[in-house]
Amino acid sequence: MASIHDNQNAFLAAIINSSQDAIIGKDLNSIVTSWNQSAEKMFGYSAGEMIGQSIYRLIPAERNHEEQTIISALR
């Protein structure tokens, strides 16, 4: 029997996957951990191509410092 936690995770996954907005998850090393269908449409990469890749693949070089600032604040 599925636990409440499993049901909540499935519900949240359904929301993320059906969102019209690109939703990208990443870890504190700026590595992509999740990628929804809208991200595929917006950026032209499948989840399989992006999960495990650096988010810097998507960020223009002149804006890399913004990602570094965000990650530093979260650590």
Say if residues 16 and 37 touch (Cβ distance below 8 Å): no
- The percentage of the chain sitting over the pLDDT mark of 70, rounded to a whole number, equals 99
CATH number, domain of 50, equals 3.30.450.20
Structural domain for 37, as ranges: 4-74
Amino acid (one-letter) located at 18: S
Structural domains counted in the chain: 1
Q: pLDDT tens-digit profile of 50-64? A: 999 999 999 999 999
Residue 45: predicted pLDDT: 98
| Residue tagged 């636990």 (tokens) | 3
- Contact between 47 and 40 under an 8 Å Cβ cutoff? The reply is yes
Band of pLDDT at residue 1, cut at 50, 70 and 90: low
DSSP code of residue 61: G
Looking at residue 49, its pLDDT comes to 98
pLDDT band of 30, cuts 50, 70, 90: very high
Query: Cα–Cα–Cα angle for 30, 34, 13, nearest 5°?
Result: 145
